[in-house]
Amino acid sequence: MRLLLVSALLVAATAPALADPDVAKGEASFKKCMACHAIGPDAKAKVGPPLNGIVGAKWAHFEGYAYSNDIKDGAAAGKVWDEATLDNYLTNPKVLAPKGKMAFAGIKTEDERKDLIAFLAQFKADGSKK
């Protein structure tokens, strides 16, 4: 029993920890999003809404954008784009919004999603950086 416990502790101690998010890598990942989304001081709606202030924002928060019913229903239910929800959505958008407009297969690696969310998180609603 003692050997099993020592082995388990050794494995836990040597397991690689998730790296801290890398904003520069997140900015590079955002290039996958740029065809449909903008971010920054001059961001405007494209195929998708601008993503200024998205981290922590209520669903369907950008005025004037025609969101899908899935996203509008989430807004009515009080949902927020926190980091966990964004991570889930970026993994596969159709899980949270099966009839949503976002035609994107998702980002499969956890580190890339964390980097992208860190990049998005630095922008306030007005597009300036925090």
What structural domains and CATH numbers belong to the chain? Answer: 19-121 (1.10.760.10)
Using the 8-state DSSP alphabet, how is residue 97 labeled? Answer: -
Position 18 scores a pLDDT of 57
In terms of pLDDT, which residue wins out, 5 or 99? 99
Helices (H) and strands (E) in the chain, counts: 6, 0
C-alpha–C-alpha distance, residues 110 and 58, integer Å: 23
**Residues 52-109 pLDDT 10s:** 999 999 999 999 999 999 999 999 999 999 999 999 999 999 999 999 999 899 999 9
40-59 mean pLDDT: 97
Query: Nearest-CA neighbor of 100 among 39, 40, 36?
Result: 36
DSSP-based three-state secondary structure for 58: strand
